[in-house]
Amino acid sequence: MTHKRKVMFETFKTWVPLALVILIFSGLAYVAVQQNYRLSANDPQIQIAEDISSAISQGTTPPDAIVSPTPTTEMSPSLATFVTIYTATGTPIGSSVSLNGKLPEIPSGVIDYVRKHGEDRFTWQPQSGTRIAAVVKSFSGPVPGFILAGRSLREIEVREKELTLMTAVATAVALVVTFLAVWLFAEMAETRSRKLHEAAESAAK
């Protein structure tokens, strides 16, 4: 085996495990930060849904006093947190936003889940290009039903794209730097080994 091939073989043998470790930890770091971005996007909606649900259930605020049956704000371009009230069958009766001029409707599967568990937190895509961090909570009282509190994930998606780019660049730099460091170490070790071998051969003559 030539000097160059031997150095490259030793380099890859040492570097591949390091590369795997770098990729694993980069992936874990990305997932941890991305999940923090996404889960924290639910925080305002959780409070709003719980407060309104409690007020309706206690009878202090009727559902039709919270939101209008004819909202004027369109959901898609807005970053504001919005609220929609549904009957016990999942029919919308009022909302602070509209979706293409109509009251926003959520999938029946969500209503079925909330009936059993009392609350659901999920990513809702009512139409292409619109993704919502949604919290749905049930309420009791004279007129039971459900409340949806949501807000756009547009800014979160921007942060996720920036995070993806930063993670990719940092991972690539780490891979290149470790490869060069391992290659340099292998080159030095092989050169030293060759010189010692040559010195031993010279001494033996």
Give the CATH number of the domain where residue 112 resides: 3.30.450
Please check whether residues 28 and 123 belong to one and the same domain. Answer: no
Q: For the chain, what is the domain count?
A: 2
pLDDT at 104 over 90: yes
Contact 181, 168 (CB under 8 A): no
pLDDT: is 1 or 181 the higher one?
A: 181
Please check whether residues 56 and 148 belong to one and the same domain. Answer: yes
- Which strands sit side by side in the sheet containing 145-152, from one edge to the other? 92-95, 82-87, 145-152, 130-139, 119-127
Region 11-30: mean pLDDT is: 94
CA 163 to chain centre: 10
Tell me which residue has tokens 């619109």: 130
How far is Cα 190 from Cα 5, in angstroms, rounded to an integer?
11
Confidence at 6, pLDDT banded by 50, 70, 90: confident
Helix runs in 86-153, H state only? 108-117
Please check whether residues 22 and 119 belong to one and the same domain. Answer: no
Question: Strand pairing partners for 39?
Answer: none
Specify the range with the lowest mean pLDDT, choosing from 10-14, 81-85, 88-92, 93-97: 10-14
pTM for the full predicted model: 0.80
Region 86-114: mean pLDDT is: 93
Q: Write down the pLDDT at residue 11.
A: 86
Helix runs in 70-153, H state only? 108-117
Please check whether residues 29 and 63 belong to one and the same domain. Answer: no
Contact 175, 145 (CB under 8 A): no
Neighbours of 10 (CB within 10 A): 17
Region 99-113: mean pLDDT is: 93
Please check whether residues 63 and 23 belong to one and the same domain. Answer: no
pLDDT at 28 over 90: yes
Please check whether residues 137 and 58 belong to one and the same domain. Answer: yes
Q: Which two tokens stand for residue 105?
A: 């409707």
How far is Cα 148 from Cα 75, in angstroms, rounded to an integer?
13
pLDDT at 1 over 70: no
Contact 69, 94 (CB under 8 A): yes
Please check whether residues 22 and 59 belong to one and the same domain. Answer: no
Question: What is the overall mean pLDDT for the chain?
Answer: 90
Domain limits for position 178: 3-36+159-204
Region 170-176: mean pLDDT is: 97
pLDDT: is 205 or 142 the higher one?
A: 142
Contact 58, 141 (CB under 8 A): yes
Confidence at 200, pLDDT banded by 50, 70, 90: low
Please check whether residues 60 and 136 belong to one and the same domain. Answer: yes
Confidence at 63, pLDDT banded by 50, 70, 90: confident
Please check whether residues 101 and 124 belong to one and the same domain. Answer: yes
State the DSSP H helix or E strand holding residue 138, giving kind and residue range, or none if neither.
strand 130-139
pLDDT at 198 over 60: no
Q: Write down the pLDDT at residue 197.
A: 60
pLDDT at 100 over 60: yes
State pLDDT tens for residues 139-170: 998 889 999 999 999 999 999 999 999 999 99
